[in-house]
Structure 1
């Protein structure tokens, strides 16, 4: 494997990196739960995707696998299952959601002009080999270290990164050009995740679970503290929105067309905790 550093906004560099490639897996994105204050979310997720499409055309790439997000799809109505027929997020949605929706639109529009591309949309990705670690990885770390004084009502559909990779490889092999696939895992509340960790490691979670309205009162203080400490903020208004949306998600198309099947959530949590421990993140 050759690792080449680049910039998705550098078109010339993309062409150089993609020369003689057969398939491109486009994962580069800026994730944000604090809006798009400097414009980089939209530049990377939309303009960057436009660059990828253009470079694929110039380099005659056989197939493009574009990684979108479940947040590209509108969460409304909340009580109905989301599948690939759901409309995309609109301008009233958070900046990240809008950018992923527009990026997916760019790819699907490019298919009409001859680009062979498939769009896959994972849910909340967790798993081992989380080197940064990600925001989701930090949630597990803080649960393990008992750094939360309270949990928050709500949850996510959690999917193992290894299952997302397998789904992407299956999409490259089996999918029709222009198709979309939701790669989901299992919805679980933050409380249920904490209980899984207690079951495995004996780590007692906080007793209290704050309703979303109460947690929202703490958002300004959480954001200010993160800014002062120059750290990523986990408690924002957009994070709270995510906790209460995208709960009912269908992966039927991926199961039927690709043979996709996510592993049990407990296996993902176990493997992730073991990896984080091995790398010293839980010390």
Structure 2
């Protein structure tokens, strides 16, 4: 049986559908029962009878930061996909990020070792690789550089260290580092907010850029790596390196709205993150723009994906087709 932690997130829900559709026996963790409705919604994008797939999953409520609560998940498990994580770029959430991303991952690794799990796939992020050098492509071999790295990136990097620690203790592991994942169903978070923003016909776009990847390519790469003999390796997953202007133009055109044409100047961003900091201090509001986020926009991040292509002869799909698919589901 296969265990998927964080089964109610974007990656987790799509992974569950893929595994169940392939006839695999699957167990999934969740924190709030209401979030299973989101999974059903995602399944509905690919099936007219999503409940048939939902009912084939063994659902167990568990908090990954509570190792005792996690123990029940590992009964009769052979393979683990660790998708659960907290995504936040607000420095005020650092303690929670540590608790869930680092300590939670340590708990999963320890239980994998305790239960002699055959293989663990850890879903990390390009944020865990660190800031890339200007005008140079980042590879899996880049030295860790934490300059201008978000609190999220810092904790994902340290979570990876827990996975590598597990590999040194005998656990077979593989790590994937996806770029910004484009997929349907979560319109109020992650890349889903790109579609909401573009749909409003915004005139401006932020500078910089990063790597983007389709949810289907992430799932395919993960499952192929788990089925392979490859262990103790990490792989960047990026379809295309795009500027934010390019990605918003693609989404806007797909949605049938006017694409943004005016770049927000850096001086304005520098003012905005300071204003946002003051607003957070005075009103206790969540940070929407931080200093590290702005610094990261000063150049486009570039990622090289030769390693995954050579390791399993992997071919990335059509990013534009995924944008059109997401746009259709967003409009509906």
Place the TM-score, normalised by the shorter chain, in its bin: 0.7 to 0.9
Secondary structure of the residue aligned to 1:2 is: strand
Matched, 1:160 2:245: no
Cα gap change, 1:187 to 1:228, in 2 (>3 Å): farther
Question: 1:226, CA displacement in angstroms?
Answer: 7.8
Q: How many residues align?
A: 276
Matched, 1:276 2:324: no
Equivalent in the alignment of 2:311: 257
Per-residue deviation, residues 140-170 of structure 1 (Å, max 9, x unmatched)? 2111122x45211122211111211111101
Q: Which runs of 5+ in 1 are unaligned?
A: 279-283
Secondary structure of the residue aligned to 2:304 is: coil
Matched, 1:54 2:107: no
Question: 1:175, CA displacement in angstroms?
Answer: 4.5
Matched, 1:21 2:21: no
The aligned runs of 1:61-210 (5 Å cut-off) are 61-90=117-146, 93-130=149-186, 133-146=188-201, 148-210=202-264
In 1, distance between residues paired with 2:191 and 2:249?
16
In 2, distance between residues paired with 1:126 and 1:238?
23
CA RMSD of aligned residues (A): 2.5
- Retained in 2: the 8 A contact 1:89–1:97? no
Secondary structure of the residue aligned to 2:331 is: helix
Per-residue deviation, residues 45-72 of structure 1 (Å, max 9, x unmatched)? 1111110011111222111001111111
TM value normalised by structure 1: 0.88
In 1, distance between residues paired with 2:162 and 2:196?
36
- Retained in 1: the 8 A contact 2:211–2:240? yes
Deviating more after overlay: 222-231 vs 30-39: 222-231
- Ranked by relative contact order (alpha carbons within 8 Å, sequence separation 6 or more), the top structure is 1
Deviating more after overlay: 59-68 vs 134-143: 134-143
Secondary structure of the residue aligned to 1:24 is: strand
Equivalent in the alignment of 2:289: 235
Question: 1:98, CA displacement in angstroms?
Answer: 1.5
In 1, distance between residues paired with 2:136 and 2:256?
36
Cα gap change, 1:128 to 1:229, in 2 (>3 Å): farther
Question: 1:14, CA displacement in angstroms?
Answer: 1.4
Secondary structure of the residue aligned to 1:30 is: coil
Secondary structure of the residue aligned to 2:59 is: coil
TM value normalised by structure 2: 0.75
